[in-house]
Chain A
Amino acid sequence: MQARNGHGNGRYYGEKLMNELTQESPRAQTDDALAELDYDNSALALTDICRSIAEVMRVGPSRPRRVRIALGAASVEVEWDGQDTPGSTAPAGQYLHGAGAAEGAEAEAVVEGHRECAPLVGTFYTAPAPGAPPFVQPGDRVEAGQQLGIIEAMKLMNPLEATRAGQVVEVLVGDGEPVEYGEPLVLIDPDTTGADDADGGA
């Protein structure tokens, strides 16, 4: 696997958790990027999830700081402490092998959320102009269709818009950094109402 998305969104454990879940229960269905769990039997599902989380805690480098489980749309949040993760700001889109997610993402926080990903290759800008305030910051509420940033490609400025309403958790890529197709740029904690489909990850 390539390791160029090493900007600390904890893909490693996210995927691992999902693998655990799907292995434990044949009824769990995974989508390509983020799994959408569709249980018809909540009690059984909860048992499965808890068993999987226990396993993740067992193999993880440290104990999670927070675990949150929501059964309605089956969302799982596991957060680890971030203080012992010097690689968490590994430059995104540096395109270099070896600048790996492995070291950077080891003990990263896993946040289940909605990732707005780069629809094309280019340069990502967080603000409308140099020195201007950014389009969004962590904690901001955004509506679907609201502009989150700009991707410059072939001298054209392409707006990046939120496809879901929610709260901005993190802007994952720095201003002026190169991004590749499908690279997660902004993490949004989506509003739960009407949040029915999995996000369009890479």
Chain B
Amino acid sequence: MTVGFGTVLVANRGEIAIRVMRTCREMGIRTVAVHSTADRDSSHVRDADAAVQIGPGPPRKSYLSAPAVIEAALRTGADAVHPGYGFLSEDPDFAEICAENGLTFIGPRPEVLARLGDKAVARALMTDAGLPVLPGSPGTVDSAAEAADLASRIGYPLIIKAAAGGGGRGMTVVRHSTDLLPAYRQTRATAQAVFGDNRVYMERYCDSARHIEVQVLADGHGSVLHLGERDCSVQRRHQKLIEESPGPGLHPQLRSAMARAAVRGARAIGYTGAGTFEFLVHDEGFSFMEMNCRIQVEHPVTEAVYGVDLVREQIRVAAGESLRMSQEDLVPRGVAVECRVNAEDPERDFAPAPGTLEEFVPPGGPFVRVDTHGRAGWKVPPQYDSLLAKVICWAPERDEALDRMDRALREFRISGPGVHTTVPLLRDILADPVFREGRHITSFLDNR
């Protein structure tokens, strides 16, 4: 006997809105899209059973406007709101307003969001739960004197991060003590401007590290499971470009230690839904960095190796149901890789290169999945994220998966006046011996 939602409003745009609506449709749930005036003609609006225009182009007045989203949900008879990633997905106030209006927020409880959204608090909570963290400040660093004092104990290089930050924004690496105070002041100013909160914290920085994250799923009935790890070390300026599961060449003991740590952390804070523990792997060890309380961009690689629809589990858990599987049921198979095709020009320092997509033919063939909102004739609006498509390839072995990815990217036809994408760069990386051998670390791309 399944008690689910009749209607789900998807408070997002682009590929993730379409991806969430696909699962809703498979579950027999009616979908409502919201959109700005700039997205009137976007694919997620076309795909939904109903759509509401909630505001003008700037996200602050549309996709980030909690009242507009709530009104749209109430007017269309939605039972629940799926926030996707970004925008309102980790906003505890929004989650609370949903509850006050009788809407189920598909994500963790507001108080959990509030605690983990403060990265300094999250770090302290996970330290208490027994997770390893890098040497750093016990809480936020609120004065220049405190910063200088802590820095001398932490050592260089170190990283200053916004407590309200995340997603690779609002952080500065400091390599010399002379740069500390300017960097401290600048990061606080950036944090204030971007997140409306100038508090920062500090941590030791690892140059030679891999970004490995663990996917967890938890229900409201005490079950907390992990779905292995993803390696997201191919980054440019802290923005992920290629992700894969499992992490290549990870020692089995390290792998299971990280998975256990993630489950312990999720249990300690009473987490529910899908979440991700981000770790840095360095010198044989690993350290907790932050937790993402939402579905991740790169979730399809986990879906591919575990055969689990993560969005479906999110929805089921939010509806109060129990997870249907046990840890023993979750056995990974093969290797999955994801490449992010962004409308950016790698030749021009990754400047966004939006334009009208005159030609847009995604790849296909065996074990290739493409999540995209692009289509021929559509004009990419300039005010949003440059992610245009995610290509995910699966194969029994990593080499095969990478060859398949190169084949798929070769097939992908995207062109139009002014349109540039990361496809040539991605294919370049796929051919790089360092990446092929799985020896790449987070600085790999920036130093290439």
With A2-B40, A182-B37 as contacts: A153 and B71 at CB distance below 8 Å: yes
With A1-B41, A2-B45, A4-B51 as contacts: A123 and B75 at CB distance below 8 Å: yes
B173 interface contact, C-beta 8 A = no
Q: List B contacts of A180 (CB < 8 A).
A: 52-54, 72
The 6 A-B pairs with the shortest beta carbon distances in the complex, nearest first, are A178-B75, A121-B71, A180-B53, A95-B50, A154-B67, A181-B53
The contact sample of 26 A-B pairs, CB cut-off 8 A, is A2-B41, A2-B45, A2-B51, A4-B53, A95-B32, A95-B50, A95-B51, A95-B75, A97-B49, A97-B50, A121-B53, A122-B71, A123-B75, A153-B67, A153-B68, A154-B70, A154-B71, A180-B53, A180-B54, A181-B53, A181-B54, A181-B56, A181-B68, A182-B37, A182-B56, A183-B53
- Cα–Cα distance between A4 and B49 once the two chains are bound (Å): 12
> Which residues of A are in contact with B by a Cβ distance under 8 Å?
1-2, 4, 93, 95-97, 120-123, 153-154, 178, 180-183, 202
B246 interface contact, C-beta 8 A = no
Return B55 CB to nearest CB of chain A, in Å.
5
Contact present for B68 and A121 (CB under 8 Å)? yes
Q: List B contacts of A122 (CB < 8 A).
A: 71, 75
Return the chain B residue nearest A118 by Cβ: B53
Judged by DSSP, the binding face of B is mixed
Question: Within the complex, which residue of B37, B50, B72 is in contact with A121, where a contact is CB–CB below 8 Å?
Answer: B72
1/0 per residue, CB under 8 A from A, across B64-105: the answer is 000110111001100000000000000000000000000000
Return the chain A residue nearest B72 by Cβ: A121
Return the chain A residue nearest B41 by Cβ: A1
Contact present for A120 and B71 (CB under 8 Å)? yes
> Which residues of B are in contact with A by a Cβ distance under 8 Å?
32, 37, 40-41, 45, 48-56, 62, 67-68, 70-72, 75-76
Q: List A contacts of B49 (CB < 8 A).
A: 96-97
Q: List A contacts of B53 (CB < 8 A).
A: 4, 121, 180-183, 202
Return B30 CB to nearest CB of chain A, in Å.
11
Question: Within the complex, which residue of A121, A123, A153, A154 is in contact with B52, where a contact is CB–CB below 8 Å?
Answer: A121
- Cα–Cα distance between A2 and B50 once the two chains are bound (Å): 10
Return the chain A residue nearest B35 by Cβ: A2
Return the chain B residue nearest A201 by Cβ: B37
Q: List A contacts of B40 (CB < 8 A).
A: 1-2
Return A92 CB to nearest CB of chain B, in Å.
12
Q: List B contacts of A181 (CB < 8 A).
A: 37, 53-56, 62, 68
With A1-B40, A1-B41, A123-B75 as contacts: A97 and B51 at CB distance below 8 Å: yes
Return the chain A residue nearest B55 by Cβ: A181
Q: List B contacts of A154 (CB < 8 A).
A: 67, 70-71
Please give 15 more A-B residue pairs, beta carbons under 8 A apart, in addition to A1-B40, A1-B41: A2-B40, A4-B53, A95-B52, A97-B51, A120-B71, A121-B67, A122-B71, A154-B67, A178-B76, A180-B52, A180-B72, A181-B37, A181-B54, A181-B68, A202-B53
Return B53 CB to nearest CB of chain A, in Å.
4
Q: List B contacts of A2 (CB < 8 A).
A: 40-41, 45, 51
Q: List A contacts of B48 (CB < 8 A).
A: 97
Contact present for A120 and B56 (CB under 8 Å)? no
Q: List A contacts of B41 (CB < 8 A).
A: 1-2
- Cα–Cα distance between A12 and B40 once the two chains are bound (Å): 16
Most buried by A among B37, B40, B67, B75: B75
Q: List A contacts of B70 (CB < 8 A).
A: 154
Return the chain B residue nearest A154 by Cβ: B67
- Cα–Cα distance between A202 and B37 once the two chains are bound (Å): 7
- Cα–Cα distance between A170 and B32 once the two chains are bound (Å): 30
Q: List B contacts of A4 (CB < 8 A).
A: 51, 53
Question: Within the complex, which residue of B56, B62, B76 is in contact with A95, where a contact is CB–CB below 8 Å?
Answer: B76
Return B60 CB to nearest CB of chain A, in Å.
13
- Cα–Cα distance between A181 and B62 once the two chains are bound (Å): 9
- Cα–Cα distance between A97 and B32 once the two chains are bound (Å): 11
- Cα–Cα distance between A123 and B70 once the two chains are bound (Å): 12
- Cα–Cα distance between A122 and B72 once the two chains are bound (Å): 7
Return A115 CB to nearest CB of chain B, in Å.
14
Return the chain B residue nearest A95 by Cβ: B50
Q: List B contacts of A95 (CB < 8 A).
A: 32, 50-52, 75-76
Return B9 CB to nearest CB of chain A, in Å.
11
Return B177 CB to nearest CB of chain A, in Å.
50
Return B47 CB to nearest CB of chain A, in Å.
10
Contact present for A120 and B50 (CB under 8 Å)? no
